[in-house]
Chain A
Amino acid sequence: MQTGKQECTQKITLNNHVKKIFITHHQIISPLGFDSASNFEKLKLKKTGLKELKRRNGNVYVGAKVDDDELDTAFSKIGIIDNFTKLEKMMLLTIQNLLDDSNFKITPNTGLIISTTKGNVDCLDPSSPFYKDEKRAYLPTLGKVIQNFFNFKDEAVVLSNACVSGVLAISVASRFIRQEAYQDVIVVSGDLVSEFILSGFTSFQAISSQLCKPYSKNRTGINIGEVAAGIIVTGDVAKLNENSIEITGSASCNDANHISGPSRTGEGLVLSIKSAVKEANIDLKEIDYISAHGTATAFNDEMESIAMGRLGLTNVPLNSLKGYYGHTLGSSGLVESIIGIESLNQNTLIASLGYDENGVTNELNIIKETEEKPLNTFLKTASGFGGCNTAVIFKKATTNG
Chain B
Amino acid sequence: MEKLKAELKERIIENLNLEDIEVSDINDNDPLFGEGLGLDSIDALELIVMLDKDYGIKIADPKEGKAIFESINTMATYISENKPA
**Direct contact between the two chains A and B in their complex (CB within 8 A):** yes
Task: Assess the B40–A258 pair: CB atoms within 8 A.
Answer: yes
- Please choose the segment from B12-20, B41-49, B75-83 that sits at the chain A interface, where 4 or more of its residues have CB less than 8 A away: B41-49
The residues of A that contact B40 with a CB separation of less than 8 Å are 258, 261
Task: Assess the A203–B41 pair: CB atoms within 8 A.
Answer: no
Task: Assess the B41–A205 pair: CB atoms within 8 A.
Answer: no
Complex alpha-carbon distance, A261 and B40, angstroms: 10
The residues of B that contact A261 with a CB separation of less than 8 Å are 40-41
B38 CB to nearest A CB, Å: 13
The residues of A that contact B84 with a CB separation of less than 8 Å are none
The residues of A that contact B62 with a CB separation of less than 8 Å are 205
The residues of B that contact A203 with a CB separation of less than 8 Å are 45, 49
Within 8 A of B (CB), among A182-226: 203-205
The residues of B that contact A205 with a CB separation of less than 8 Å are 45, 48, 62
Question: Considering only CB atoms and an 8 Å cut-off, how many residues of chain A contact the other chain?
Answer: 7
Question: Considering only CB atoms and an 8 Å cut-off, how many residues of chain B contact the other chain?
Answer: 7
Query: Could you say which of A203, A205, A259, A261 has the most chain B C-beta atoms within 10 Å of its C-beta?
Result: A205
Complex alpha-carbon distance, A203 and B48, angstroms: 9
A208 CB to nearest B CB, Å: 13
Closest residue of chain B to A261 (Cβ to Cβ) is B41
Task: Assess the B49–A260 pair: CB atoms within 8 A.
Answer: no
Closest residue of chain B to A204 (Cβ to Cβ) is B45
The residues of B that contact A260 with a CB separation of less than 8 Å are 41-42
Within 8 A of B (CB), among A253-268: 258-261
Within 8 A of B (CB), among A302-325: none
Complex alpha-carbon distance, A205 and B64, angstroms: 13
B62 CB to nearest A CB, Å: 4
Closest residue of chain A to B41 (Cβ to Cβ) is A261
Within 8 A of A (CB), among B8-58: 40-42, 45, 48-49
Complex alpha-carbon distance, A205 and B40, angstroms: 15
The residues of B that contact A204 with a CB separation of less than 8 Å are 45
Complex alpha-carbon distance, A297 and B65, angstroms: 18
The residues of A that contact B42 with a CB separation of less than 8 Å are 259-260
Complex alpha-carbon distance, A258 and B42, angstroms: 10
The residues of A that contact B49 with a CB separation of less than 8 Å are 203
B43 CB to nearest A CB, Å: 11
Complex alpha-carbon distance, A204 and B49, angstroms: 10
Closest residue of chain B to A299 (Cβ to Cβ) is B41
B54 CB to nearest A CB, Å: 15
Other A-B pairs, 8, CB within 8 Å; known A204-B45, A260-B41, A261-B41:
A203-B45, A203-B49, A205-B45, A205-B48, A205-B62, A259-B42, A260-B42, A261-B40
Residues of A within 8 A of B (CB): 203-205, 258-261
Closest A-B pairs by Cβ, 9 of them: A205-B62, A261-B41, A260-B42, A204-B45, A205-B45, A203-B49, A203-B45, A260-B41, A258-B40
